[in-house]
Amino acid sequence: MGLHLYNSLTRSLEPFVPQRPGHVSMYVCGMTVYDLCHLGHARSMVAFDVIRRWLQESGYCVTFVRNITDIDDKILRRAAGNGESLRTLTDRMIAAMHEDADALGVLRPTEEPRATEYVPAMQALIGRLQEQGFAYRSADGDMHYAVRRFAGYGRLSGKSLAELRAGERVGINDNKADPLDFVLWKSAKDSDPAEARWDSPFGVGRPGWHIECSAMCASLLGQTIDIHGGGVDLQFPHHDNEIAQSEAAHGVPLARYWLHNGFVTLGQEKMSKSLGNVSTIRDILQHVDAETLRFFLLRSHYRSDVAFTGASLDDARLALRRLYGALAAVPVDAAPAEASTACIASMASIDGQEPYAARFRKAMDQDFGTPEAVAVLFDLASEVHRSHCPRLAGLLRSLGGCLGILQQEPASYLQGGAAVDRADIEARIAQRAQAKASKDFAWADRIRAELLAQGIALRDTPSGTTWESVSRLG
């Protein structure tokens, strides 16, 4: 049937047909870099990394743009509070973001524009909106977008103008002609530092948040792109506002397909800084390896909400170890595939009639159905354990690679995170072998039990005794 995507704009599953055969243009809203990335950011990064990977695996060359918002009220407040420049703060947070994304196996975007690099493009777009009657200057010097002049505003989020009351996610400002109007250009305040001030036809100031993405997207990918993505919380107002700005200015659709990932929840609340329930990526990685966190996130469909608990993360860890256990049991000659941002089609080298591969493709072609694809991996792992077939073990590694997992050396992964020194473990294994040779099975059992209590499980195989780290999160 081919690849089908759920389009948030039409609220339906649609066949994917890019504008240019063999090429995909994709823009995803990135981070506002005033703080460390949290688990919600990880969800979006991993979700769109899997989408990007599968597009590439399907033979498309993907131009993937994920922006960086490096000018914003939150950034100004944080930099002032820290006593540092905006550039120092944002450079530091961008470096931390890259460290977190790299740890999670997220491929770097084709382009990663910083908003401050595209201010002239933003000014040009605002000027065009002003010429066409969609933008006006208020008494306080700010430039605003006149929402009611754009027919169909809110069609992405499904919110009608009648439903959008003042004060509901839209700040009240007496200087605006309408409470629903949003800012395009903010006039400079006396407290704003020099690096947050740009000369413009609208006066000295800085861009609003929404205009940033419209300008960067058009500059790098064109006026109409194939896929626009982001978290579901961005549908309103950010993506509705992007549509209003871009389509009013250019007269063509901004994106042909809109994709949105779901929330990460703690209990019954979505994870967000405003709720004060944020867990940063690096905090979590103090307790669990990065591939387990990635696996935890992709076990759920990208559009669904994910409940984050220690128990669910521990379950993901044990499940991933089962997959690696199958690879450890059957050596695979082929080296792990290196991640690539180029146009690739590794699935083309896999027999399309192979039942596991066919099931995997069918799952992923239905709006990137990772839960079903992961189920195929577990069925395949069970078959590898039964058959000890190197070909199927190689297939397991290859299919896992499509999701960005199972590319580590199995023994290294399974032994990772051990709280006991490796040399001590090997010494205890040697003592146990001596005990078994002396037929002192009580001693041998005691050594096994003591190691297990320390999170080390021994596995007796025809080629000798191996070990794994099985400590839980607690």
Q: Which residues are annotated as a binding site for Zn(2+)?
A: 29, 213, 238, 242
Q: Which residues are annotated as a binding site for ATP?
A: 273
Q: Which residues are annotated as a binding site?
A: 29, 213, 238, 242, 273
Nearest-5° angle of CA 14, CA 19, CA 24?
Answer: 85
Q: 144 has which bridge partners?
A: 136, 183
Q: Report the candidate in 264, 265, 299 with the shortest Cα–Cα distance to residue 405.
A: 299
CB atoms within 10 A of CB 445: 13
Residue 155, classified by CB atoms within 10 Å of its CB into exposed (0-12), middle (13-18) or buried (19+), is middle
| Residues in Cβ contact with 473 at an 8 Å cutoff, skipping those fewer than 6 apart | 287, 288, 310, 313, 314, 317
Q: Report the candidate in 134, 166, 136 with the shortest Cα–Cα distance to residue 151.
A: 134
Alpha carbon separation from 331 to 376, 390, 397 (Å, rounded):
20, 7, 11
Alpha carbon separation from 426 to 36, 421, 463 (Å, rounded):
39, 9, 15
Q: 6 has which bridge partners?
A: 13
Number of helical (H) and strand (E) elements in the chain, helices listed first: 15, 15
Query: If you ran DSSP here, which 8-state letter would residue 300 be given?
Result: S
With H, G, I as helix, E, B as strand and everything else as coil, classify residue 49: helix
How many angstroms separate the CA atoms of 67 and 55, rounded? 20
- CB crowding 339-360: b at 16 or more within 10 Å, else e: eeeeebebbeebeeeeebbebb
Query: If you ran DSSP here, which 8-state letter would residue 169 be given?
Result: S
For residues 364, 366, 372, 377, the Cα torsion angle rounded to the nearest 10 degrees is -20
**Tokens representing residue 317 in the block:** 């860890």
How many angstroms separate the CA atoms of 462 and 322, rounded? 19
